[in-house]
Amino acid sequence: MGFVRERLDLAGGVAVVTGAGSGIGRAIAIGLADVGARVVVGELNEERGRATAAAIEEAGGEAHAVQADVRAREQVQRLVDAALERFGDIHVMVNNVGGSFQLPTLDLSDNGLEAVLRVNLKAMFLGSQIAARAMIAAGHGGSIVSTSSGSALQGDAVGSAHYSAAKAAILGMTRSLAAEWARHGIRVNAVAPGGVNTPGRVRNMREDVGSRAVEHAPLRRLAEPEEIAAGAVFLASGLASYVTGHTLVIDGGGSTTGIS
């Protein structure tokens, strides 16, 4: 086995992926299983989580679905505990859950702002902290990958200031955690997708905004979830063994035009 195949191989590894019932999270969970990881599928919607786990198992992998609301510490703890109990360890944590709504900032309430911060930033903090504690206790290090957004890197004039702020905070925390936990052998990175063809985007994004993202991206299309998953799998794997504190932008070149 050559260097690339050897480093990409996660056989024997255990990964937890949040928001893995659909879209980018599902693609990441399946991608990690495809390179050998045993996967704990974290998902608020129990039926969707089980469907992802079933897809992994049908392809010959190992998976275990756990219903969890990652805004609550005890439920994130349950996800990590499930990995330890079912598979005996945890090597990779993927904080993928996120979400928002479009609303002009002048109309945004305190509750709306706090809701977006909880589901994006707080969930990332809880997942990272709880997984890192388990990795440090095991003494083998690990990899933490969080899903941010191209919106974290530039301004957005369509009522997404709260979302951009939450996703930008993930990048700041990623860099700080990378510096803090490097001595434990834990790498901490993020992916920042541009427009992605997911059910959530189709459901929540205004049509004119989606069209603008396609028109201004040099590659002239939205990404497929598997294209974002490929970046997350790279960062989780040994191929990225000297990469930490990094944000991998996967936006079809959208950031070169100021649109993502």
Which of the residues are catalytic?
148, 163, 167
End-to-end CA distance of the chain: 38
Give CA–CA dist 27/99, Å, rounded: 17
**Residues in a beta bridge with 16:** 40, 93
Please report, as a single letter, which amino acid is at residue 38: R
SS3 205: coil
Whether 187 and 240 have beta carbons less than 8 Å apart is answered as yes
Whether 16 and 84 have beta carbons less than 8 Å apart is answered as no
- Helices and strands, number each (H, E), in the chain: 10, 7
Give CA–CA dist 229/27, Å, rounded: 6
> To the nearest 10°, the Cα dihedral for 177, 180, 181, 185?
120
